[in-house]
Amino acid sequence: MMNDNTPPVSVRFVDIDADREGQRIDNFLLAQLKGVPRTLVYRIVRKGEVRVNKGRVKADYRLKSGDVVRIPPVRVTPASEPPPASQQLADLLENSILFENKGLLILNKPSGLAVHGGSGINLGLIEVLRQIRPQEHYLELVHRLDRDTSGCIMIAKKRSMLRHLHKELREGRVQKYYHALVAGRWPERCREVRAPLKKNELSSGERMVRVDSDGKESLTEFRVLQHYQGCSLVEAKPITGRTHQIRVHAQFQGHGLVGDSKYGNDEVNKAMKAKGFNRLFLHAAALSLLLPDEDKPLLVRAPLDERLSVPLQRLPLL
């Protein structure tokens, strides 16, 4: 197997061993093609230039031991090193750690920080962690959170942990719990929203998701935590893992998230901003997962940051 992660200038073939089994082809390519824009990686997959065992695959194809991946020639200017993280950001992330062992790091991601660089972002969460933890030879995102979403995020410190958690995620054994403040009074009887979601990419590259009968089956469970004057705090548990799923399902139900400039209500957002809500109110509040060789699930909770908790305390209860 070739380990050169520089973009190839001629076709090369990579044999997949058991260590890479279960990894998505898009994530594999992003690791292999350092410095290549994500949009280009997805384009060469979509056009069939990337082949697995001589056949075309989609970006979500999961590699199997024994697969042979054809990687086409790609010419790009080598990516420059990301700028050094500020001490303030480094300290913030170190102080945001919620759980750590030899194989896993879980932290409370701040809102406004992308999980990785790219698309005009020089420095993301994973790049900062690699800078401030140079002794860690392996740090990889287990899953993603949108830039404006805060809360629990998992980073694997070993490939074996990454494989384990990806398997747990695929088989629905990792439970994710989000807290969201939504406009209006969420009905107690509405315990789930089941609506197919279809993702579209605008010419600007922006992703938009909408409910569409041609979309992928999607299910989110909801539970009311507290009614406030003009809004409700709900717990959202995504059963499927679609892009922007909670935000679009809440909008579909008629209760867009507070601070959501893409799927929310502009008038509601303006009124709530006057009350101190200056960001999207979507927070990955807790994770429940089973670690290897453990019998009991690990439950990790992430507290709300002050930008959400302080204005929330001022709202009149109902």
User: Active-site positions?
Assistant: 146
Contacting residues for 244 by C-beta, under 8 A, at least 6 apart: 146, 197, 207, 209, 262, 263
Residue 90's alpha-carbon distances to 112, 134, 216, in angstroms, are 15, 13, 38
CB 69 within 8 A of CB 13: yes
Q: Which residues pair with 219 in a beta bridge?
A: 194
Contacting residues for 133 by C-beta, under 8 A, at least 6 apart: 139
* CB hemisphere CA count around 73 (13 angstroms): 4
> What's the CA gap between 240 and 235, in Å, rounded?
15
> What's the CA gap between 32 and 60, in Å, rounded?
16
CB 271 within 8 A of CB 215: no
CA angle 148, 149, 152 (to 5 degrees): 145
The strand ranges marked E within 84-133 are: 97-100, 104-109
